[in-house]
Amino acid sequence: MASSAVGTNASHRNSGRSVVARIAVTVACVSGLLHAASSLYWAVGGRWLLPTVGAWAVDAAESSPVLAGMALGIIGLLKLSAAIVPVVIAAGRMPSPRLWRAVCWVGAVGIAVYGGVNIAVSGAVLVGAIPVAGGYDEDAMIGHVFIWDPLFFVWGVALIVWLLTSRHAGIRFDRFRATKVGA
């Protein structure tokens, strides 16, 4: 009887972890898709919120619209891929899932740190804790504190939560493919 209770608790714990994992990978995907959509929108000539990235982005879009569009298009497609790959892994449809999970770890930690540091630094500039000789781009600082870097941070943290909660969640990884345990 004691062993079945232990199995039930482990099963309940795994089902709770899988719910958290699904929510986390969904939050990560949505955050990444918002980033990708913005870059792709700007790539095709949209300008709404572009000043919140920085005056340099507006200048580049005005002085070299084709080059800026191509660069933003590539960035947008990379963000789109980075947003979708974890969902495909979670669905068990990605070849070499161990490799892709490792890539996700690098990306997750990178964008979480990037977003968190930029929120702190941009916020410190906005409140005057870090003086900037010659002034600063207020629209860009506001955009980085309240839009772009929080999205990066949420995206990265959600990926980390997904990666942690989806470990050993009924999936065994061998060298070539993922298979459900007991299948």
Query: pLDDT digits over 83-100, tens only?
Result: 999 999 999 999 999 999
DSSP label at residue 134: T
Checking if the pLDDT of 168 tops 70, the result is no
Q: Does 27 have pLDDT greater than 50? A: yes
Q: What is the pLDDT of residue 17?
A: 80
Q: What pLDDT score does 167 carry?
A: 85
At residue 80, the pLDDT reads: 98
What pLDDT band is residue 176 in, cutting at 50, 70 and 90? very low
Please give the Cα distance from 69 to 62 (Å, whole number). Answer: 10
Distance CA 100, CA 85 (A): 8
Asked if residue 175 has pLDDT above 50, the reply is: no
**Least confident among 3-17, 22-36, 122-136:** 3-17
Give residue 158's pLDDT band: very low, low, confident or very high (50, 70, 90).
Answer: very high
What pLDDT sits at residue 55? 92
Q: State yes or no: pLDDT of 122 exceeds 90.
A: yes
For residue 114, the tally of other CB atoms under 10 A from its CB is 14
Using CA atoms, how far residue 1 sits from 5, 6, 9, 34, 143, in Å, is 6, 9, 13, 50, 58
Q: Residue 152: its pLDDT value, please?
A: 98
What is the pTM for the complete model shown? 0.83
Taking alpha carbons only, the member of 174, 166, 173 closest to residue 15 is 166
Mean pLDDT of 97-106: 96
pLDDT at 169: 53
